[in-house]
Structure 1
Amino acid sequence: MVERPQSPLRLDRQFARNGVPECLHVPHTTLFDNLEMSARRFPDKTAIYFYNAAVSYAALLHDVERMAGYLQRACGVQRGDRVLLFSQNCPQFIAAYFAILRADAVVVPVNAMLLREEVRHIATDSGAVAAFCAHELVGEIAPLVGKTTLRHLIVHAYGDALPDEAGGFNVPDAVRERLPAAGTLPGTRWHDALAQGQAPAPPQAQPDDLCLLPYTSGTTGAPKACMHTHRTVMSSVAGSRLWRHVNAESTFLASAPFFHLLGLQGGVNGVFYAGGTVVILPRWDKETAAQLIERYRVTFFGGPPPMMVDFFSQPDLAQRDLSSLALVAGGGAAMPEGTARLMREQYGLEYAEGYGLTETAAFLLANPLHRLKPGCLGVRTFGVDARIVDPATLQELPQGETGEIVAHGAQIMLGYWNKPRANEESFVVIDGKRFFRTGDLAYVDEDGYFVMRDRLKRMINASGYKVWPAEVEAMLHGHPAIREACVIASRDQRRGETVKAVVVLMPAMRDTTEADILAWCRERMATYKAPRMVEIVDALPRTATGKIAWRELQELELQK
């Protein structure tokens, strides 16, 4: 196990002001301890709002304990075992998340848009023994039970967490749906598992135990898991809460998916570390988001720029009382100046940009709240040593020159799960310290702020979702009519970037159309990664070594 620093994480003195100290002491506890401590301090306080439903800290902890007991006693989950969590945002997601941690196991969050074969890869690669699954997604995972390492499935429905009355909210029918009262159902019903009243064994997990295996795709095409411990995640959580002045009276709108680190850190771990309240939105709905902010006096609203553009473009938004909002934050793309100006002039809000990856537990660089610089990723946060290096020589570059961001810090993952070659490629030792290579190109300005320039890796950022062309290309090559494929980014006014496939057809199948390929993709790929555009060409450009010249195609696309 890699040794983790026990000393305080220090911050550059010039940014330690307005309530942000020069150092951070990371708690020597587990993520579950955050919930348990907050529940002891505020048992009757509302921990979760889900439309018109409210869950207290005491009630949440009660369900977490019973579900952890079920995992251990009925499912045989042991310390270090992996458990999948396959669901949209809902109270059951949060309860299942903490139950897995309370059982001393490892959470494997699964993107709710993935299809069966994509889920199969994650189940098989992680060696997960059990899974929590939303009812709407059962068809994608139930066939894997007994066919992979999965042995147990616990099924919940979003509607079971809701009262009969909608309370004036527009709740989608898919969210209202409850588990069927009769008939067969794959796996065990959520309430049946709780009803067993099983008590878990005393907790054994330690800060340096694995706790989270979130999957992220890579340039090799196969999604791989980032190994995070309680300490790596806690370093990010504790730092971001202190940086953003979060406390027990903070209320968060959780609109980003919990199965992504952005949503999990901001809407779950950060909330329960502070003892705050989370307002859950399972699917993005700008009108309902405004209604929730107004009714529950939300103070923190996080999301990528495309979400903010959509939210603040509502024609009737001025009729809502958004005065409770104290901070709007996010990252992943540039905020359009028009939206930034609207937020500033009409609502007195500034968009606080930050930078992080799944590999860094989300929080790495951030804009100080007292010195926001639009268009910048931010500055080094607590204990972070981030540098700009030449991607070829790994020599540090002077201020103002563009190179690759490499980072060392307490929140950096241990490495990729069972991927020694990827670890060799992704980590480098500089001045005796282990740095993670982000693959992102940036420079540092005269004030010490990092400014994004380009991507060294071929990543497409579609509304904050990472899409790796190599993975999509590998799937496209399974189409019987496709001879070759190259996936690139195309500009999209709403998503920022969208996925485009440039393909060459088999000679005998030239009657295949773009529409045929798009339909095939929608049946086999998650919505965010399935190409939205297809261009059929006679041949793809190649480099002198015979490789597909994807950069040439990308540049031509961006010139359109």
Structure 2
Amino acid sequence: KLAALNYPNNIAIYFKPKEEKYSYRELLISSLKIASALKALGVKKGDPVALNSKNCSEFIIAMWACIKLGAVLVPINYLLKKHEVFHIFNDCGDIKTAIVHEKNLKLYKRSSKELGIEKIVLIREDKNVEKEIKIADDVELIFFHELLNSYEPLVEKISINMKEDLFCLLYTGGTTGLPKGVMLTHFNVISDINQLLHIGAEFSEEAVEKNIGKLSFVNVLPLCHSFGVISTLTYTSAACQLIVYDSFDIPSILETIEMYKVENFAGVPTMY
């Protein structure tokens, strides 16, 4: 919210594959609209909301919407197989609402009853293409972009106990076994953000203050992973421009790094 108040016209999200941009004002308003929509769909503070999507602008909007509503975000890796997704739903508990990218819808169309889902909020690959989507009769299908157009921003301020209330359940299993849910409170996430912002001697309090609203960061790692979640929250909290990719497009990434004078890039060893 402070980023939107202090830097309303700065670019918050630049989703490079679609050349799609959201300013900080637009990100705040969009996230509050989705928070309002989720509330109208029956999601309450403390309720888990599954988010199964590849990298896209809607992922970040939905993430912030869950924070505003006090819902527990449950990011699900879009590459997981059916039995792994089933495990997460069974382990997590009573997930009634899932935000799903169109590319992952196939699994939910077949298994929504077994998963116990009542509502699916669908992120369309192309919002301008209309095609009929069939799904189980007992599941309500809602389009993400229609919610943005239909709801006013959430006005109610949800009371959050920073040290007790969960922000998210991150499922991680490394390379062995089924994923295990890691509980992160809002306080845990704030601590992570502060540590990332002040890592190293060059990131003193004065240096952080000086660079707020001025830096760009390239994010190609999956947003559903712990690093993706925390880095996204960190750099948007610092009013940076977050340039997001949904694949490791090396020529485009190198061009972007040069064009925007990117000083921060997170990757796994094989990328380097």
Q: For this structure pair, what is the TM-score category when the shorter chain's length is used for normalisation?
A: 0.7 to 0.9
Aligned pairs (5 A) from 1:153-192: 153-160=120-127, 180-184=129-133, 186=135, 187-192=141-146
Residues 356-410 of structure 1: CA distance to partner in whole angstroms, max 9, x if unpaired? xxxxxxxxxxxxxxxxxxxxxxxxxxxxxxxxxxxxxxxxxxxxxxxxxxxxxxx
Return the structure number with greater helix share: 2
Name the structure 2 match of 1:304: 268
| Aligned-partner Cα distance in 1 for 2:256–2:125 | 18
* C-alpha displacement of 1:218: 6.8
| Aligned-partner Cα distance in 2 for 1:250–1:41 | 15
* C-alpha displacement of 1:264: 1.8
Q: Percent identity?
A: 28
| Aligned-partner Cα distance in 2 for 1:182–1:305 | 41
What residue identity is the alignment partner of 1:207? M
Aligned pairs (5 A) from 1:152-551: 152-160=119-127, 180-184=129-133, 186=135, 187-200=141-154, 201-208=156-163, 209-217=165-173, 221-243=177-199, 245=203, 247-248=211-212, 249-266=214-231, 268-308=232-272
Q: Which runs of 5+ in 1 are unaligned?
A: 1-35, 161-177, 309-560
What residue identity is the alignment partner of 2:224? F
| Aligned-partner Cα distance in 2 for 1:257–1:91 | 12
Cα 1:307–1:192 change in 2 (3 A) is same
Determine helix, strand or coil for the equivalent of 1:145: helix
Residues 435-478 of structure 1: CA distance to partner in whole angstroms, max 9, x if unpaired? xxxxxxxxxxxxxxxxxxxxxxxxxxxxxxxxxxxxxxxxxxxx
Cα 1:113–1:68 change in 2 (3 A) is same
* C-alpha displacement of 1:91: 0.7
Q: Is the 8 A contact 1:124 1:149 kept in 2?
A: no
* C-alpha displacement of 1:219: 9.2
What residue identity is the alignment partner of 2:195? G
Q: Is the 8 A contact 2:98 2:119 kept in 1?
A: yes
* C-alpha displacement of 1:105: 0.4
Q: Is the 8 A contact 1:123 1:148 kept in 2?
A: yes
Q: Is the 8 A contact 2:121 2:144 kept in 1?
A: yes
* C-alpha displacement of 1:53: 2.3
| Aligned-partner Cα distance in 2 for 1:307–1:219 | 18
Cα 1:276–1:193 change in 2 (3 A) is same
What residue identity is the alignment partner of 1:237? I
Task: Provide runs of 4+ in structure 1 moved above 4 Å.
Answer: none
| Aligned-partner Cα distance in 2 for 1:116–1:39 | 39
Determine helix, strand or coil for the equivalent of 2:65: helix
Cα 1:302–1:194 change in 2 (3 A) is same
| Aligned-partner Cα distance in 2 for 1:146–1:93 | 24
1:45 aligns with 2:1: no
Cα 1:181–1:158 change in 2 (3 A) is closer
* C-alpha displacement of 1:143: 3.0
Determine helix, strand or coil for the equivalent of 2:160: coil
Q: Which runs of 5+ in 2 are unaligned?
A: 136-140
* C-alpha displacement of 1:185: 5.0
* C-alpha displacement of 1:199: 4.2
One of 80, 93, 111 as aligned partner of 1:144:
111
Q: Is the 8 A contact 1:88 1:112 kept in 2?
A: yes
What residue identity is the alignment partner of 1:43? P
| Aligned-partner Cα distance in 1 for 2:253–2:168 | 29
Q: Is the 8 A contact 2:46 2:70 kept in 1?
A: yes
1:108 aligns with 2:74: yes
Cα 1:193–1:71 change in 2 (3 A) is same
Q: Whose radius of gyration is greater, 1 or 2?
A: 1
What residue identity is the alignment partner of 1:285? D
Name the structure 2 match of 1:327: none
User: Over aligned residue pairs, what C-alpha RMSD do you find?
Assistant: 1.9
| Aligned-partner Cα distance in 2 for 1:149–1:211 | 22
| Aligned-partner Cα distance in 2 for 1:193–1:54 | 19
| Aligned-partner Cα distance in 2 for 1:284–1:183 | 32
Q: Is the 8 A contact 1:119 1:140 kept in 2?
A: no
Determine helix, strand or coil for the equivalent of 2:45: coil
| Aligned-partner Cα distance in 2 for 1:265–1:183 | 36
Q: Is the 8 A contact 2:29 2:153 kept in 1?
A: no
| Aligned-partner Cα distance in 2 for 1:273–1:206 | 19
| Aligned-partner Cα distance in 1 for 2:228–2:249 | 16
Q: Is the 8 A contact 1:213 1:225 kept in 2?
A: yes
Higher relative CO (CA 8 A, sep ≥ 6), structure 1 or 2?
Answer: 2
Which stretch of the first structure deviates more once superposed, 268-277 or 183-192?
183-192
What residue identity is the alignment partner of 2:221? A
Q: Is the 8 A contact 2:235 2:241 kept in 1?
A: yes
One of 78, 95, 101 as aligned partner of 1:134:
101
Q: Is the 8 A contact 1:142 1:153 kept in 2?
A: no
Q: Is the 8 A contact 1:45 1:56 kept in 2?
A: yes
* C-alpha displacement of 1:125: 1.5
Cα 1:281–1:239 change in 2 (3 A) is same
* C-alpha displacement of 1:126: 1.1
| Aligned-partner Cα distance in 2 for 1:42–1:125 | 40
Name the structure 2 match of 1:71: 38
Residues 4-50 of structure 1: CA distance to partner in whole angstroms, max 9, x if unpaired? xxxxxxxxxxxxxxxxxxxxxxxxxxxxxxxx121111111111111
